[in-house]
Amino acid sequence: MFLRRTGGVAVTRELIDHVLNLAQLRNVTIQVMPLVRASHAGLHGPIRLLETPENKWFVYNEGQASGHLITDSKAISVLQRRYARMRSQALTILDSMSLLQRMRGDL
């Protein structure tokens, strides 16, 4: 999204600033997947893991035409492992912030 500069440079700069500001919140972690990675655990689409106050887990997948709530514990376990793998394949938190700051500076 940042590389495409959808909406122009000003919109892209504002978007990067917003993400950098969100990263300052104690309950937000931003990690960026490197562009040069032949394969990673997130290639099959986004993963939204949801945990209730009672520590019950769900997964929500959304496409252009529909959404799907996953409640099966085995399927959730597979997606939690995939998410963990994806985080290990992404840039570190500090490297992700550094990349975003460099991208903003390059605009």
- The pLDDT tens digits for 29-63 are 999 988 777 777 777 778 899 999 999 999 998 88
φ/ψ of 93, rounded to 5, equals: -60, -45
Of the pLDDT bands very low, low, confident and very high (cuts 50, 70, 90), residue 106 is confident
Of the pLDDT bands very low, low, confident and very high (cuts 50, 70, 90), residue 3 is low
For the chain, what percent of residues have pLDDT higher than 70? 96
For residue 68, list its beta bridge partners: 61
Look at residue 1 and tell me whether its pLDDT is greater than 60: no
pTM to 2 decimal places: 0.74
Distances (CA, A) of 38 to 2, 47, 60, 78: 20, 19, 26, 22
Average pLDDT over residues 76-105: 93
